[in-house]
Chain A
Amino acid sequence: MSTSRTKIKKIYPGDVAFRIFNTLFLTIFVIITLYPILNTLAISFNDGTDALRGGIHIVPRVFTTKNYQTVLQRQALKTGAFITVSRTVLGTVFALFANAVLAFIVSRKEFVFRKQLTVFWIITMYVNGGLIPTFLLYRKLNLTGTFWVYVIPGLVGAFNMLVIRTYMNGIPDSLEESAMLDGAGYTRIFWTIISPLCKPVYATVALFVAVYQWNSWFDAMLYNRLRPEYTTLQYELMKLLSSVMNQNTNVESLKNVQDTVTPTSVRAAATIITILPIVCLYPFLQRYFVTGLTLGSVKA
C-alpha cells in the first residue's frame, strides 16, 4: 500500500478528524490491553507473600526472581518443553496441510460433492460425543499413551478449514482456469497457484493451531496421565500451580512460616514464561497479516 501512498495527494478535512480519532482510540486500546500484561509481569517479579496484600500495578514492590526459580526448577519442565515444542511444530505443519487441502477441495466449484462435504464438516463443529466416548475411541485406536494423541485428533478443524476456504473463494478463478488450460492438475494448482496467494490466511491458521498446541494440557492429563515422558509444558505448569496452591492450604504447615511464593505469583511467572516464546516468534508471522501483500499478480 505504501507504493500507492504518494499518489494520494489530496487531504480531506474528514481525514484529519479521522486521524485524531484513530490515534486516540488505538492509544486507549493499547493502554487497557497492555495493563494486564504489565501487571502480570510486575507480580511475577514480586515477592509472593508481599503481593498478597494487593496494590501492585506495573512496578514490583519487593523484587525477587524466586517465582521464576520455582517454576524453572520443576524437574519435568524440560521434558514438557520438549514435547510441547515438538507437538507445536508437527501439529501445526500437519494440521495446516490437512486444512489447506480440504479447503482446496471444497472451494473447487466444479467438485460434485462440494456442498455435502462442507455440510459434513460444519456439523462436526457443533456436535460432541463427550469425554468418555472420545477417550474410549482413542484407546481403541491405541492413541492413548502415545505422542500422536496430540497431533492426529486435531488434524482437521472445520473452523480453520472454513477460514481458508473463504479466502480461497476470494481468489479470482481466471488464474486457475488458465492453468487448467495449460494442463495443470489439481496438485499443481494447489501448490503453485493457490497456496502462494494464501500465505496470509495460512499464517493466520498456523498461528491459531500453534497457539492451541502450545497451550494444551488437558489432553496430556487425560490420555497420558501415567506416561510422564509425554507430559507437556502447560500440564507441568498446571501441576506446579496446584502443588503450590495445595501447599498453601496444607494443614501440616499451618504455622507462621514464610514461603515467599504463592499461587498468584507462580501463576504470573508461568504465564510470562508461556507467552515469551510466542512473542518472540510472532513477528515472523505478523508480516503476513499486518504489512499486507501486493496481489498485483492476481490481475495478470
Chain B
Amino acid sequence: MKRKLTVMALVFAMLLAPVLSACNNGGGGKESGSKSNSAGKDGKQEITEFTAFLAVPGSEVNDDNEVKQIIAEKTGYKIKETWLTGQTETEAIGTMIAGDEYPDIIDGGVATKNLYEAGALVPLDDYIEKYPNIKNFLNEEQWDSLRQDDGKIYWIQQFGNIKGEDKTTTQTMGAFWIQARVLEWADYPEIVTLDQYFQLLEDYNKANPTMEDGTKNIPYTILCEGTKFFCLTGAPLELAGYPNEGSVYVDEETLKAVDYNTTDMTKRYYKKLNDGYKSGLVDPESFTQTYDEYIAKLSSGRVLGMHDQGWNFSNSVNAALTQAGLDKQGCDYIPIGLVFDEDIHNRWFTRQYTINTASGIGITKDCKDPDGVMKFMNDLLDQEIHDLRFWGVKGVDYDVNEKGEYFRTKEQRFESTNTSYRATHLCPYSWMPQYEGTSDDGINANKPSDQPGEFYDGLNDDIKRAFDAYGAKTYIDLLGVNEPAGPWYPLWTYSNAITTSTPGGIAFTKMDEVFHEYMPKVCIADDFEAMWDEFLKTYEECNPQDFLDEIQAILDKRIEDHKQYEN
C-alpha cells in the first residue's frame, strides 16, 4: 500500500515537474522580455497594453509575437485580443453586460447594439475628429449611418473599405463552381445559364464517369448543414440577377422588397435540383452530409460542381487538391456567374464598399485611456503599420523587386499560413480597422492575397489554362464586374441581426425553420409539385408578410437617409 502511494506521488511529481519548471522558465522569459522593452523605451514612451474582446471566433496571437512587438515599439501600444469560444455572441455579451465589467476595446458582433443600450460604450465623435486616419477611414454618409439615437457614434465598422484601386482577385462570395477538367473537356465553352451548366455536368459525366483511378465522379453536390444552408438556398437570388441581399430582393423600379423564396424563378431552381436528384446528377447524400464530409468529397476531386461561397471551401480544398496532385487531373474549381436566362445580367461580383452598420469596434466605459486607443487605431491605419499587419516584416515575410512591387517566395507564402508561425510572428490585428485596395505607394495591394503577381504565381496550371482560354487574369475577370447595388445594399445587415422581439423577427425565425426542413424535401420529392405546394402552405403559416413589412421599412429608411448625400 505504502509503495503504491509512493509511486502515485512520484507520478504526480513527474507530471508537475515540467509544469513547474516551465513556469519558472516562463517567468524568466518575461523578465528578459521586459528588459528589451526598457531598452526600446530609452528614447520612447512606455508600452501600454489594452484588452479587447471580439465576439467572433478568431486566431489568437502570442503575447511575445514579433510583429506585435515591433508595432508596439513604433506606436507605444499593443492589444491583447480575446475571441469568442463556445458561446454565441449574444450570450457572451449578455453575461458581460450583466456583470457590468468590460475590456478596454470591444466588438459585440450582432450584439454590439446591446452594449450601447446598456451604456457600456463611450461616444467616439471627438476622437474621430482628432485623428485624421480615422476621420478619413469613412465618408460623411458612412459615419452618419453609424450614429445612434442620440446622434453620436459608438463604434467603427472595420471591414471592406477599399482604398484607391480595388485589386480583388478571388471570389470569396457566392458562385457556381465547376472543375477545370470539365471546362477543358468541352473546350472552354461559354456557360451562362443554369440549364447549360447542368447539361455540361451531365455530358461530361456521361463521357467520363470516373476519375483516373476509377473513383466515380459526383456531378453535383450540395451542402446544407446547419449554418451553411446558404449553399442550397442562396443561389436563386443571384441566378435571377439580383445582388445578394440575404432574404429578399429589391425591385429597382418600384423599390419594393420582394420575397424571392416563393417566386417562379426559385421554383425553377428547385425543379432543376429535383430532376437532377432523380437522374442521379445530384449527390444523394447532399441533404445529410456534414461539412467535414463535404470538404472530404471536394478534396478527393470527385465533385464536378457545386454552389458555394468561396470562403467556405477554397482554402482547405485547394490545399488538399494540390497536395494530392489532383490539379494535374484538372480538379481545381473555377467560379461561373450563372443566371436563369441569357438576358439576365449577373450580379455575382460588384466592387462596392458596403458598410455593416450593425457591428464594429468600440471603446468601453472601463477603458482608462480612450484617447490612447483611438491614437493606436489611427496608427494602425498608417501605411507603414498597415503593411506590417498584413504583409509582415520586409525581407522576412516578403521582398521587394526593382519596380517596388512586393512579392513572396514559395516558402514565405507557406509560412504565412502556418498556424504556429502566425501565432509567434504575424500580428494582423485582424479585427481592427483596415483597408482593402491599393497602398499609398500606388503599386502594391493592401493585402497580399490581392497582389496581382502574387496571385497569378500561386495558381495551378489547370486554372491558368482556363484563365488563358477565357482571357482572364483573375477569378473576378471570369465573373465580370457589375454595377453596384442601390444605397440600401445589403439588406442582410438587417436580417442577420433581427431578433424575435418583433413579429417580423418571429416570422423570420419560423421561415428559416421551414426552409431547413422543406427545401431538402422539395429536392428529393417523388412528386415535386405536391411537395412544393406543401412548402408554400407551411411557409404561409409563418406570416412572412410581417417580416417583409419590417424589411420594407428599413429599405425605405435607407433610401430616404441616402437622399441628402446625393450630389
Please determine whether chains A and B interact with each other in the same assembly: yes
Which residues on A are within 8 Å of B, measured CB to CB? 47, 49-50, 52-54, 69-70, 73-75, 78-79, 81-82, 85, 89, 131-132, 135-136, 139, 144, 217-218, 221-222, 225-226, 228, 235, 238-240, 242-259, 261-262, 264, 266, 277, 280-281, 284
Which residues of chain A come closer than 8 Å to B157, judged between CB atoms? none
Contact B99 A256, beta carbon cutoff 8 Å: no
Contact B323 A50, beta carbon cutoff 8 Å: yes
| Contact A52/B458 with A139-B99, A242-B83 known, Cβ cut-off 8 Å | no
Is B57's beta carbon under 8 Å from chain A? yes
- Contact code string B366-391 (vs A, CB < 8 Å = 1, else 0): 00000000000000000000000010
| Contact A135/B82 with A252-B428, A254-B311 known, Cβ cut-off 8 Å | no
Max count, chain A CB within 10 A of own CB: residue among B62, B87, B295, B419 = B419
| Contact A242/B58 with A52-B296, A221-B85, A257-B417 known, Cβ cut-off 8 Å | yes
| Contact A251/B103 with A49-B320, A78-B23, A256-B318 known, Cβ cut-off 8 Å | no
Shortest CB distance A59–B (Å): 18
Contact A257 B19, beta carbon cutoff 8 Å: no
In which size bucket is the chain B interface? 35 or more
Which residue of the partner chain, among A70, A135, A257, contacts B416 with CB atoms under 8 Å? A257
12 contacts between A and B (CB under 8 A): A50-B324, A52-B320, A73-B424, A85-B19, A89-B12, A136-B98, A246-B58, A252-B447, A257-B458, A258-B322, A266-B419, A284-B7
Complex-state Cα separation, A136 to B97, whole angstroms? 10
Shortest CB distance A142–B (Å): 12
Contact B292 A264, beta carbon cutoff 8 Å: yes
The chain B residue with its CB closest to the CB of A249 is: B311
Which chain B residues numbered 262 to 314 have a C-beta less than 8 Å away from chain A?
292-293, 295-296, 299-300, 310-312, 314
Max count, chain A CB within 10 A of own CB: residue among B23, B293, B310, B418 = B418
Contact B82 A242, beta carbon cutoff 8 Å: no
Contact B63 A243, beta carbon cutoff 8 Å: no
Which residue of the partner chain, among A50, A244, A247, A255, contacts B458 with CB atoms under 8 Å? A255
Contact B23 A53, beta carbon cutoff 8 Å: no
Complex-state Cα separation, A284 to B3, whole angstroms? 12
The chain B residue with its CB closest to the CB of A277 is: B15
Closest CB pairs A-B (n = 8): A54-B296, A256-B318, A243-B59, A78-B22, A259-B417, A75-B62, A52-B299, A52-B320
Contact A135 B11, beta carbon cutoff 8 Å: no
Complex-state Cα separation, A27 to B319, whole angstroms? 40
Contact A256 B322, beta carbon cutoff 8 Å: yes
Which residues of chain B come closer than 8 Å to A136, judged between CB atoms? 98-99
Is B565's beta carbon under 8 Å from chain A? no
Is B78's beta carbon under 8 Å from chain A? no
Which residues of chain B come closer than 8 Å to A243, judged between CB atoms? 58-60, 83, 419, 423
The chain B residue with its CB closest to the CB of A69 is: B420
Complex-state Cα separation, A273 to B216, whole angstroms? 38
Complex-state Cα separation, A69 to B8, whole angstroms? 28
Is B505's beta carbon under 8 Å from chain A? no
Which residues of chain A come closer than 8 Å to B422, judged between CB atoms? 247
Contact B417 A253, beta carbon cutoff 8 Å: yes
Which residue of the partner chain, among A78, A132, A217, A252, contacts B449 with CB atoms under 8 Å? A252
Which residue of the partner chain, among B23, B83, B299, B300, contacts A79 with CB atoms under 8 Å? B23
Shortest CB distance B23–A (Å): 6
Shortest CB distance B231–A (Å): 14
The chain A residue with its CB closest to the CB of B8 is: A284
Complex-state Cα separation, A60 to B319, whole angstroms? 19
Contact A131 B324, beta carbon cutoff 8 Å: no
The chain B residue with its CB closest to the CB of A72 is: B420
Complex-state Cα separation, A248 to B310, whole angstroms? 12
Which residues of chain B come closer than 8 Å to A222, judged between CB atoms? 95
Shortest CB distance B479–A (Å): 15
Contact A53 B296, beta carbon cutoff 8 Å: yes
Which residues of chain A come closer than 8 Å to B26, judged between CB atoms? 78-79
Complex-state Cα separation, A266 to B99, whole angstroms? 34
Max count, chain B CB within 10 A of own CB: residue among A136, A221, A226 = A226
Complex-state Cα separation, A259 to B317, whole angstroms? 11
Complex-state Cα separation, A89 to B103, whole angstroms? 31
Max count, chain B CB within 10 A of own CB: residue among A50, A239, A240 = A239
Which residue of the partner chain, among B60, B80, B449, B460, contacts A253 with CB atoms under 8 Å? B449
Shortest CB distance B128–A (Å): 26
Max count, chain B CB within 10 A of own CB: residue among A69, A259, A264, A284 = A259
Which residues of chain B come closer than 8 Å to A47, judged between CB atoms? 323
| Contact A239/B60 with A254-B315, A281-B11 known, Cβ cut-off 8 Å | yes
| Contact A259/B418 with A131-B95, A225-B82, A252-B390 known, Cβ cut-off 8 Å | yes
Shortest CB distance B385–A (Å): 17
Complex-state Cα separation, A132 to B87, whole angstroms? 13
Which residues of chain B come closer than 8 Å to A249, judged between CB atoms? 311-312, 315
Contact A82 B20, beta carbon cutoff 8 Å: yes
Contact B19 A82, beta carbon cutoff 8 Å: yes
Is B170's beta carbon under 8 Å from chain A? yes
Is B206's beta carbon under 8 Å from chain A? no
The chain B residue with its CB closest to the CB of A136 is: B98
Shortest CB distance A282–B (Å): 11
Which residues of chain A come closer than 8 Å to B77, judged between CB atoms? none
Contact A258 B323, beta carbon cutoff 8 Å: yes
Is B413's beta carbon under 8 Å from chain A? yes
Is B260's beta carbon under 8 Å from chain A? no
Complex-state Cα separation, A50 to B10, whole angstroms? 40
Contact A246 B416, beta carbon cutoff 8 Å: no
Which residues of chain B come closer than 8 Å to A242, judged between CB atoms? 57-58, 83-85
